[in-house]
């Protein structure tokens, strides 16, 4: 059973690695060809939406104990990204060519083409130290870039369109609901929720790199 679980996780993480590598290639190649950052969503948006939707499996992995992450933090990350992608970027044509989309897609893609290969190789038990080090170091720069000038700035820019279009109506399950007010509330809460995840990643970094360093010492001995 453990071998089957490892095989499944290896295949899942490998497929995500390929998908995000293709997304990164599309974003960068579009930028090189057009010399513009306006076409990030047109070039890779639908693929990134698919990859992010499928990533809900990672919440399930944590919930059933397939991986030790638990379900809460993966759910927070998945929910924040998916709302940003499907409800705002995909749902509002006017924001799809804004620079914030390019910044977000670039930061996400770079972090995922590091994260997923590291997970996949770890399933095999043969992940080089430098990949693990990169996995638990690159986020220090990439996560703040994806969050502030990326996700949060774009949500703020989307507010006038949400209000003008009366997006998603006035009720939810028969209860009064304003999506415009909801996004404003999300913008207020976002830094706190993001900080919780960011600090958790620093704890993970300390723990994972210490383990890897210990393994390297044993090998040398």
Give the pLDDT score at 82.
96
| Per-residue pLDDT, 169 | 80
pLDDT for 218 equals 57
What is the C-alpha R_g of the chain? 19
- Contact, 167 vs 91, CB < 8 A? yes
Q: Please measure the distance between the N-terminal and C-terminal CA atoms of the chain and give it in whole angstroms.
A: 33
DSSP 8-state assignment for residue 177: -
Farthest-apart Cα atoms in the chain, separation = 67
- Continuous H helices in 35-128: 40-54, 57-63, 72-82, 99-124
User: Which among 89, 88, 52, 98 has a CA at the least distance from the CA of 179?
Assistant: 88
**For the chain, the helix, strand and coil percentages under 3-state DSSP, each to the nearest 5:** 80, 0, 15
Instruction: Say what the pTM is.
Output: 0.91
Q: Are the C-beta atoms of 113 and 24 separated by less than 8 Å?
A: yes
At a CB cut-off of 8 Å and minimum separation 6, what does 73 contact? 62, 196, 197, 200
pLDDT of residue 213: 62
In tens digits, the chain (221 residues) has pLDDT values of 788 999 999 999 999 999 999 999 999 999 999 999 999 999 999 999 999 999 999 999 999 999 988 999 899 899 999 999 999 999 999 999 999 999 999 999 999 999 999 999 999 888 899 999 999 999 999 999 999 999 999 999 999 999 998 888 877 777 788 999 999 999 999 999 889 889 989 998 998 888 776 665 555 55
Decide if 51 contacts 16 (C-beta within 8 A). yes
Q: Sign of torsion, CA 136 46 83 155? A: positive
Tell me which residues are annotated as active site: 143, 151
Asked whether the beta carbons of 103 and 32 are under 8 A apart, the reply is: no
């Amino acid at each position: 059973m453990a071998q089957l679980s490892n095989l499944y996780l290896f295949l899942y993480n490998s497929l995500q690695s390929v998908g995000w590598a293709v997304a990164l290639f599309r974003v960068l190649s579009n930028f090189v060809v057009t010399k513009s950052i306006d076409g990030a969503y047109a070039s890779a948006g639908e693929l990134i939406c698919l990859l992010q939707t499928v990533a809900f499996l990672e919440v399930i992995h944590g919930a059933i104990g397939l991986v030790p992450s638990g379900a809460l933090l993966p759910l927070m990350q998945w929910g924040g990204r998916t709302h940003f992608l499907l409800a705002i970027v995909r749902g509002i044509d006017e924001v799809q060519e804004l620079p914030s989309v390019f910044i977000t897609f670039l930061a996400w893609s770079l972090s995922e083409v590091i994260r997923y290969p590291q997970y996949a190789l770890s399933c095999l038990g043969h992940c080089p130290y430098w990949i693990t080090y990169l996995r638990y170091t690159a986020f220090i720069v990439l996560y703040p870039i994806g969050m502030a000038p990326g996700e949060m700035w774009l949500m703020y820019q989307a507010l006038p369109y949400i209000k003008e279009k009366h997006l998603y109506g006035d009720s939810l399950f028969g209860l009064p609901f304003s999506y415009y007010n909801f996004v404003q509330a999300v913008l207020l809460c976002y830094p706190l929720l993001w900080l919780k995840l960011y600090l958790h990643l620093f704890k993970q970094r300390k723990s994972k790199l210490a383990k890897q360093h210990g393994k390297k010492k044993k090998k040398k001995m």
